[in-house]
Amino acid sequence: MDQKIKKEVISILVDNQANVLTRVSSLFGRRGFNIDSLTVSATNDPNLSRITVVFTGTEQGLHQIITQTAKLEVVKKIFTLHSGDSIYRELLLLKVRADKTNRSAIKEIVDIYRGRIVDLSKDSLIIEITGDSDKLDAFMEMLSCYEIAEVCRTGITGIGRGPSWDEK
Amino acid sequence: MKVTGSQLVAEILLEHGVDTVFGYPGGTALNLYDTLYEYRDKIKHVLTAHEQGAAHAADGYSRATGKTGVVFATSGPGATNLVTGIATAFMDSIPMVAITANVPDSLIGRDAFQEISITGVAMPITKHTFFVNKIEDLAGALRNAFRIANSGRKGPVLIDITKDVTAAKIDYKPALPLPLNPSPVFRDEDVQEVAAMINAAERPIIYFGGGVPASNAGEELNRLLEIADIPATHTLMAAGIVGYDNKRNLGLIGMHGSIAANKAVDRADLVLALGARFSDRVALNPKKFARKARKVQIDIDTSEINKNVLVDFGVTADVKEFLTRLLPLIKEKDHSEWVSQATEWKKRTGDVKCQDAELHPSEIVQSVCKLTDKETIYVTDVGQHQMWAAQYLNHEKTHNFVTSGGLGTMGFGYGAAIGAQVGNPDKRVVHFTGDGSFHMNLNEACTAVSQELPIITVIMNNKVLGMVYQWQTTFYGKRYAATTPERKTDFPKLAEAFGAKGFSASNPAEFEEVFKKALQEKGPVWIDCAIARNERVLPMIPAGGAVEDMIIG
């Protein structure tokens, strides 16, 4: 088995019921699966929720996280979303200290990254930006020379291109 | 037909053929128990001394009968007392349904008297948990619990029912048990590939575990051994599948496995793992385990493949289904040179008798074997006596060796023996224990007495916590921290105090004599056997070691 460390995005369709997130996250905790992010959301089917997990590890680790999670009674489907045929998005909200001296310089960067300024006050502003994680990382790097006050990122959510998961 | 939630529980148990349950009543379980009273002609309830004993009894019942074990407990401490028993069943993949009552739904989350979120506690030690606070969810939860417990890799399921639901009324519609989940699909190409590897191997060995008895694949396995002339070694969970006298049976593998089994695995060019998971008590050093061999793993649980040891080829399949399709492709082979080499290794054992006492563990086990028939069910606790029982018993039958493998639960034995005996009233049950393990749950003697169970408990009494004591002797410079309790327990007297029968033995002749007497008794018997504290379980490969690190004597 390949021992190289890779990043994978895993999509899990689960029963939409109480404790489902606890079941999945406690499994990750007790088996020592290290995850980068986890998001949960509703789907077009009221009975199902969708959990998107970003996992960094070896092929053996990936096989473990997928097969152990698949054993949970609440898990209806689990699969990896490969970067070539999937769309990943993450939302970033970032509050930066800014006043009349540097506001327009920041706005220029925000525009290049197709972000939006969603709140403005005398000495700070809040930026909203979506994209894949690399884009958000790059944006934060660009803003690092300013005084960042608060950052909030949702973690990746993702969807496969073409046919839907239950048609594949 | 309108029934209460409690009556619904009883009806659905009957739908699944449950006629025996173990448990302990309490405040929130009053409605459930009132119904068990009403159904007492159809469902036998065995009251234990402690909920842990009830959980082990349900587990032992399942192991010794192949049926699903069912245990009842009340909320709070009743439920938490089940935890070790449920975890024991989980680690050994034993089908069990635990039913707990909780406080009424109106009090949930208020830290009410005897309220605990047992579904939260039990999540990591069950296949699934149900929390039922609506009567309309109850039937589905119960029926699915039996389906989940018995599908794929088996295991325990817990259902927590609020007290109001046990009293609420609902329409009961009888139904058949839900079909089990289909077993994994595997390809002909996979079977052909494994067959080709077996047919080409010069020094093959089969290493099998609890998956073989769980799928009832003993017959197919024995045919494979015979046709392809392959020696085999088993884990603690799979004693009795291949007959003790079969020359191809190399015995137990791993830390306290036989010299033959561990050497053969080390020399083999092919290891076929059937329903076994390369645990750290088998593949003590996963990198050095079977280092010259190609490894093939067949398991019903995909997550076991490549979990502990990376294999060359893995197939997710029910062992019985896989072997059934494999057998026609296996060529008749003669590996007599390889088998006879392994048989030669079998002559050397780790039976070094300590001369500080007249009675030795191997003699006790061999003497029990001689005086009991092949149908006898042997139950153990955990520790040195467990390993001696595993090493020296003439295992001949599937489901006749009941022991806590994965969790290694001291205190498992007496409860499990009670469950095994209740499930097999016509068979003899012999319970091997040590003075350490037995002190943990010997309170269940009251259960064995009130149920009139003729369980013979053989206490290998070395007056120390032997297994830890042995490690301290070998690896900790004889610093005996907390293993020499200086207890003065008089076991025969204590047995009498419980209303059981007690004997003691300090040499082989005495042991045979009292064991013969014990066989005549109608109720439980304890035999206190004086053995030396310096008896060791050998051979031994230290944790993390390999075959070259084996301590033989």
Same domain, A76 and A108: no
Domain endpoint, select from A56, A81, A106: A81
Question: Chain-centre distance of CA B406, in angstroms?
Answer: 8
What is the model's pLDDT at position B191?
A: 98
For A78-109, write each residue's pLDDT tens digit.
999 999 999 999 999 999 999 999 999 999 99
* A14 vs B contacts (CB less than 8 Å): none
Q: How, if at all, do strands B96-102 and B69-73 pair?
A: parallel
B295 interface with A at CB cutoff 8 Å: no
Q: Is residue A119 part of a domain?
A: yes
Burial of A84 (C-beta count, 10 Å sphere; 0-12/13-18/19+) = exposed
Same domain, A94 and A65: no
Amino acid found at A82: H
What is the model's pLDDT at position A26?
A: 94
Q: Is residue A166 part of a domain?
A: no
* B297 in active site: no
Per the prediction, chain A carries an average pLDDT of: 95
User: Does the beta-carbon distance from B302 to A70 stay under 8 Å?
Assistant: yes
Q: Which residues pair with B502 in a beta bridge?
A: B526
* B51 in active site: yes
The span from the CA of B30 to the CA of B36, in Å, is 10
* B120 vs A contacts (CB less than 8 Å): 22
What is the model's pLDDT at position A2?
A: 73
HSE on the CB side for B216, CA within 13 Å? 3
Same domain, A92 and A75: no
Q: Which of A1, A26, A27 sits opposite B306 (nearest CB)?
A: A1
- Using 50, 70 and 90 to split pLDDT, how confident is the model at A110? very high
Q: Which of B114, B307, B341, B397 is catalytic?
A: B114
Burial of B528 (C-beta count, 10 Å sphere; 0-12/13-18/19+) = buried
B181 interface with A at CB cutoff 8 Å: no
Q: Please indicate whether residue A165 or residue B165 has the higher confidence score (pLDDT).
A: B165
Q: What is the CA radius of gyration of chain A?
A: 19
Please name the residues in contact with A62: beta carbons below 8 A apart, sequence gap of 6 or more.
A6, A8, A10, A55, A80
User: Does the beta-carbon distance from B128 to A73 stay under 8 Å?
Assistant: yes
Q: Is residue A167 part of a domain?
A: no
Question: For A71, which residue in chain B has the nearest alpha carbon?
Answer: B127
In contact, B326 and B194? CB cutoff 8 Å: yes
Please name the residues in contact with B158: beta carbons below 8 A apart, sequence gap of 6 or more.
B86, B97, B98, B99, B100, B118, B119, B122, B126, B128, B129, B130
Q: What is the largest CA-CA distance in chain B?
A: 72
In contact, B260 and B251? CB cutoff 8 Å: yes
Q: Is residue A110 part of a domain?
A: yes
Q: What is the DSSP string of B92-151?
A: TT--EEEEEEES-GGGTTTT-TT---HHHHHGGGSSEEEEE-SHHHHHHHHHHHHHHHHS
What is the model's pLDDT at position B300?
A: 98
* B467 in active site: yes
User: Does the beta-carbon distance from A60 to B310 stay under 8 Å?
Assistant: yes
What is the model's pLDDT at position B395?
A: 86
Q: Which of B467, B503, B511, B550 is catalytic?
A: B467
The span from the CA of B350 to the CA of B355, in Å, is 15
What is the model's pLDDT at position B215?
A: 96
Q: What is the CATH number of the domain that holds A132?
A: 3.30.70.1150
Amino acid found at A90: E
Q: Is residue A143 part of a domain?
A: yes
Same domain, A34 and A74: yes
How many domains does chain A contain in total?
A: 2
Same domain, A125 and A141: yes
Q: Is residue A116 part of a domain?
A: yes
Domain endpoint, select from A40, A65, A81: A81
What is the model's pLDDT at position B169?
A: 98
Helix, strand, coil tally for chain A in percent (to 5): 30, 40, 30
Q: Is residue A45 part of a domain?
A: yes
Same domain, A96 and A34: no
User: Does the beta-carbon distance from A71 to B307 stay under 8 Å?
Assistant: no
Same domain, A92 and A42: no
The span from the CA of B10 to the CA of B72, in Å, is 12
Same domain, A10 and A73: yes
Name the 3-class secondary structure at A156.
coil
* A62 vs B contacts (CB less than 8 Å): none
In contact, A88 and A39? CB cutoff 8 Å: no
Q: Is residue A163 part of a domain?
A: no
Mutate to test the interface with A, among B97, B123, B127, B309 (most CBs of A within 10 A): B123
Name the 3-class secondary structure at B320.
helix
Q: Which of A1, A19, A26 sits opposite B124 (nearest CB)?
A: A26
Amino acid found at B531: I
Q: What is the DSSP string of B248-303?
A: TEEEE-STT--HHHHHHHHH-SEEEEES----TTTSSSTTTTTTTSEEEEEES-GG
For residue B408, the tally of other CB atoms under 10 A from its CB is 17
**Domain ranges, residue A127:** 87-157
Q: Which of A1, A19, A30 sits opposite B310 (nearest CB)?
A: A1
Question: Chain-centre distance of CA A105, in angstroms?
Answer: 28
End-to-end CA distance of chain A: 26
* Domains contained in chain B, CATH given: 2-171 (3.40.50.970), 188-346 (3.40.50.1220), 361-530 (3.40.50.970)
Name the 3-class secondary structure at A135.
helix
What is the model's pLDDT at position B518?
A: 98
Q: How, if at all, do strands A116-120 and A35-42 pair?
A: unpaired
- For chain B, count helices (H), then strands (E): 22, 20
Same domain, A128 and A142: yes
CA distances from B419 to A74, B15, B51, B100, B380 (A): 32, 21, 13, 19, 13
What is the model's pLDDT at position A166?
A: 87
CA distances from B408 to A108, B281, B381, B389 (A): 65, 11, 8, 14
Domain endpoint, select from A81, A111, A133: A81
Same domain, A76 and A11: yes
For residue B106, the tally of other CB atoms under 10 A from its CB is 12
Q: Which residues pair with A120 in a beta bridge?
A: A125
The span from the CA of A17 to the CA of A15, in Å, is 6
Which residue's structure tokens are 């943990």?
A: B440
Q: Is the pLDDT of residue A1 over 80?
A: no
User: pLDDT tens, position by position, for chain B (553 residues)?
Assistant: 899 999 999 999 999 999 999 999 999 999 999 999 999 999 999 999 999 999 999 999 999 999 999 999 999 999 999 999 999 999 999 999 999 999 999 999 999 999 999 999 999 999 999 999 999 999 999 999 999 999 999 999 999 999 999 999 999 999 999 999 999 999 999 999 999 999 999 999 999 999 999 999 999 999 999 999 999 999 999 999 999 999 999 999 999 999 999 999 999 999 999 999 999 999 999 999 999 999 999 999 999 999 999 999 999 999 999 999 999 999 999 999 999 999 999 998 888 899 999 999 999 999 999 999 999 999 999 999 999 999 999 988 888 999 999 999 999 999 999 999 999 999 999 999 999 999 999 999 999 999 999 999 999 999 999 999 999 999 999 999 999 999 999 999 999 999 999 999 999 999 999 999 999 999 999 999 999 999 999 999 999 999 999 999 7
Same domain, A72 and A111: no
CA distances from B407 to B90, B125, B223, B281 (A): 9, 11, 32, 12
User: Does the beta-carbon distance from A60 to B306 stay under 8 Å?
Assistant: yes
Q: Which of B127, B301, B306 sits opposite A63 (nearest CB)?
A: B306
Q: What is the CATH number of the domain that holds A66?
A: 3.30.70.260
Same domain, A94 and A124: yes
What is the model's pLDDT at position B76?
A: 98
Q: Which of B124, B128, B302 sits opposite A67 (nearest CB)?
A: B302
The span from the CA of B88 to the CA of B70, in Å, is 14
Nearest of A82, A12, A88 to residue A50 by alpha carbon: A12
Q: Is the pLDDT of residue A168 over 80?
A: no
What is the model's pLDDT at position B281?
A: 96
What is the model's pLDDT at position A167?
A: 85
User: Does the beta-carbon distance from A30 to B306 stay under 8 Å?
Assistant: no
Q: What is the DSSP string of B102-118?
A: ES-GGGTTTT-TT---H
What is the model's pLDDT at position B388?
A: 97
